[in-house]
C-alpha cells in the first residue's frame, strides 16, 4: 500500500525511476550536504546563539524544506541553511554591523516573505532577467572569497596586522595544520568522486585531533537539545530599521539567484526541463524555498536555500520528490547526533569552508575578461565582499560600479531601469545613511 502511494504521488514510473533508486539518491544527496549540520551551528553560535538550539534548528529547517520541496513541488532538490548566507548573518550583520542575532533572524524572515510574494506574483523572472550576468558571476565569486577569508581566519592562517591590515599567521600551530590537512583531503576526495567527501574530511580531522589530544570527545548520540533559546526569537520590528534594508535585500538577492541557478542547473542535469527548456512547477519550487526560509527563521537559523549538492542525487538516479523526502528523514535522524556535532572544532570546518569557497570562486572563469566594462564590476563585487567583510557591501558596490562604468563608456544599451534604480538607491545610502 505504501509503495502504491509513493508511485501515485511522486509519479515514479512516469519519471522512469523506482523506490530503491530514489532512496539511494536521497542517501547520496544527504551525505554530500550533511556537513552543514556541523558547520552551521559552528558559525551561528559565534553571534551568541545557543549551539544546541541552532543544531536542532538546522536539522529541522533542512528537513521541513526538503519535505515541502519533495511533497509539493515533487523535485529531487534538497534544502538546508545556505553557506555564505550564514557567514553573512554572523560576520556581516551581527558582528560587523552590530545588530542582535534576533534582529538578523527578523531580516531573514522578511527576506523569505518577500521571496514568497515575488514567487506568487511572478516578479522573479523580471528581476533575474534585469540583473546582468556579469554581476551574478561577481557576487557568486565574492561570496566564495568571503568564505575563504573566514576559513583562513578561523584556522589562524590569516591574522590581523596593524601595519598591513592582514598577514600570515603561525602555520605550525595545530589549528592551521588541521585546517589545511582537512582542505587537502576534501579536495582530493572530491576529485576522486568519493561520496560525502566534505563530511569525511570534517569527521576525519576531528577524530585525528581527538586521538592526538587537541580536541575533546563529547559523545555521539543523545536526545536532541532544546530549541527554546532560538525558537520564535526573531525580532521583526528590529529588522525594520532603515539601515537593515540593504541587509534584507542581500539575503533576498543571494537566495533568489542561488535558488534559481540551483533549480535550473540541477533540473537540466537530470533531464527535468520541458521541451521549451523551462522547469515545470517552478512556482511551487520557489515557494517551497521561500517557505523554508521563513520557517528556518522562526526555528532559529539563517536563510534556508536549495543545495547544488542535490546534483549528486540526480547523478545517482533521483528524479522525483521522493529523493528529497529521504533527505528530510535523514536530517530528522541527525537530531540525535548533537554530541557528535558539538565535538567538531572550528578548524575542522575551516577546511570545508575553504573547499566551498573554491567551488564558488570558480564562477570568475565565466566572466568576460575581454570587456573591461563587464570585468571591472565583477572584480569590484568579488573583492569588496572579503575586504569589507560584507556580502551586502559587495553587492552594492558591484551595482554602482556597473552602472557608472557602462554609462561613462556610452554603453547605455547594457543598462536597464532595474539596475539603474538599484545603483542609485545604493549610492544614496552611502551618501546619506552611512
Q: For residue range 234-244, list pLDDT tens digits in order.
A: 999 888 887 78
CA dihedral 68, 71, 77, 83 (to 10 degrees): 20
The stretch 140-159 carries a mean pLDDT of 85
Number of other CB atoms surrounding residue 176 within 10 Å: 20
**Does residue 302 carry a pLDDT above 70?**
yes
Give whole-number Cα distances, 214 to 60, 174, 208, 252, 345, in Å: 31, 8, 9, 40, 9
pLDDT at 189: 92
**Does residue 215 carry a pLDDT above 90?**
no
pLDDT at 407: 94
Nearest of 267, 302, 322 to residue 27 by alpha carbon: 322
Q: Which carries the bigger pLDDT value, residue 400 or residue 362?
A: 400
CA dihedral 126, 128, 130, 135 (to 10 degrees): 170
Note the pLDDT tens digit of each residue in 246-296. 788 888 877 877 777 677 667 766 777 677 666 777 778 888 888 999 999
Query: DSSP string spanning 288-307?
Result: HHHHHHHHHHHHT-S-EEE-
**Does residue 433 carry a pLDDT above 70?**
no
Nearest of 100, 135, 61 to residue 244 by alpha carbon: 100
> Rounded to whole angstroms, how far apart are CA atoms 126 and 105?
27
Q: Which residue has the cell 585531533?
A: 209
Mean pLDDT of the chain: 86
pTM (two decimals): 0.80
Query: DSSP string spanning 29-48?
Result: HHHHHTTHHHHHHHHHGGGT
Amino acid at each position: 500500500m505504501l509503495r502504491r502511494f509513493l508511485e501515485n504521488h511522486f509519479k515514479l514510473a512516469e519519471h522512469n525511476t523506482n523506490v530503491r533508486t530514489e532512496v539511494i539518491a536521497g542517501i547520496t544527496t544527504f551525505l554530500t550536504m550533511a556537513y552543514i549540520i556541523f558547520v552551521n551551528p559552528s558559525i551561528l553560535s559565534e553571534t551568541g546563539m545557543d549551539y544546541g538550539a541552532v543544531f536542532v534548528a538546522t536539522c529541522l529547517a533542512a528537513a521541513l524544506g526538503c519535505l515541502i520541496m519533495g511533497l509539493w513541488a515533487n523535485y529531487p532538490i534538497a534544502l538546508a541553511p545556505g553557506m555564505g548566507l550564514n557567514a553573512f548573518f554572523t560576520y556581516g550583520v551581527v558582528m560587523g554591523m552590530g545588530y542582535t542575532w534576533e534582529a538578523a533572524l527578523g531580516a531573514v524572515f522578511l527576506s523569505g516573505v518577500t521571496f514568497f510574494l515575488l514567487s506568487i506574483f511572478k516578479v522573479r523572472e523580471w528581476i533575474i532577467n534585469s540583473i546582468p550576468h556579469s554581476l551574478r558571476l561577481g557576487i557568486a565569486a565574492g561570496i566564495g572569497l568571503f568564505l575563504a577569508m573566514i576559513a583562513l581566519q578561523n584556522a589562524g592562517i590569516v591574522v590581523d596586522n596593524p601595519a598591513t591590515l592582514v598577514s600570515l599567521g603561525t602555520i605550525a600551530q595545530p589549528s592551521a595544520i588541521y585546517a589545511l590537512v582537512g582542505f587537502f583531503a576534501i579536495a582530493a576526495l572530491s576529485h576522486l568522486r568519493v561520496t560525502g567527501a566534505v563530511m569525511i574530511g570534517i569527521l576525519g580531522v576531528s577524530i585525528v585531533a581527538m586521538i592526538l589530544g587537541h580536541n575533546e570527545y563529547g559523545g555521539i548520540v543523545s536526545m536532541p537539545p532544546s530549541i527554546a533559546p532560538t525558537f520564535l526569537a526573531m525580532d521583526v520590528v528590529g529588522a525594520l530599521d532603515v539601515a537593515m534594508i540593504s541587509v534584507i535585500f542581500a539575503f533576498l538577492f543571494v537566495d533568489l539567484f542561488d535558488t534559481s541557478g540551483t533549480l535550473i542547473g540541477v533540473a537540466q542535469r537530470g533531464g527535468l526541463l520541458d521541451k521549451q527548456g523551462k522547469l515545470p512547477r517552478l512556482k511551487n519550487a520557489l515557494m517551497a524555498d521561500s517557505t523554508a526560509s521563513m520557517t528556518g527563521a522562526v526555528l532559529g537559523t539563517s536563510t534556508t536555500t536549495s543545495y547544488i549538492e542535490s546534483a549528486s542525487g540526480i547523478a545517482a538516479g533521483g528524479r522525483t520528490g521522493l529523493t528529497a523526502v529521504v533527505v528530510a528523514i535523514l536530517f530528522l535522524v541527525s537530531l540525535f547526533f548533537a554530541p557528535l556535532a558539538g565535538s567538531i572544532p572550528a578548524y575542522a570546518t575551516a577546511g570545508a569552508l575553504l573547499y566551498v569557497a573554491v567551488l564558488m570562486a570558480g564562477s570568475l572563469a565565466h566572466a568576460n575578461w575581454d570587456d573591461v566594462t563587464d570585468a571591472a564590476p565583477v572584480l569590484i563585487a568579488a573583492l569588496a565582499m572579503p575586504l569589507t567583510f560584507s556580502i551586502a557591501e559587495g553587492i552594492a558596490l558591484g551595482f554602482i560600479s556597473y552602472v557608472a562604468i557602462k554609462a561613462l563608456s556610452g554603453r547605455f544599451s547594457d543598462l536597464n531601469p532595474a539596475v539603474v534604480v538599484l545603483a542609485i538607491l545604493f549610492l544614496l545610502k552611502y551618501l546619506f545613511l552611512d
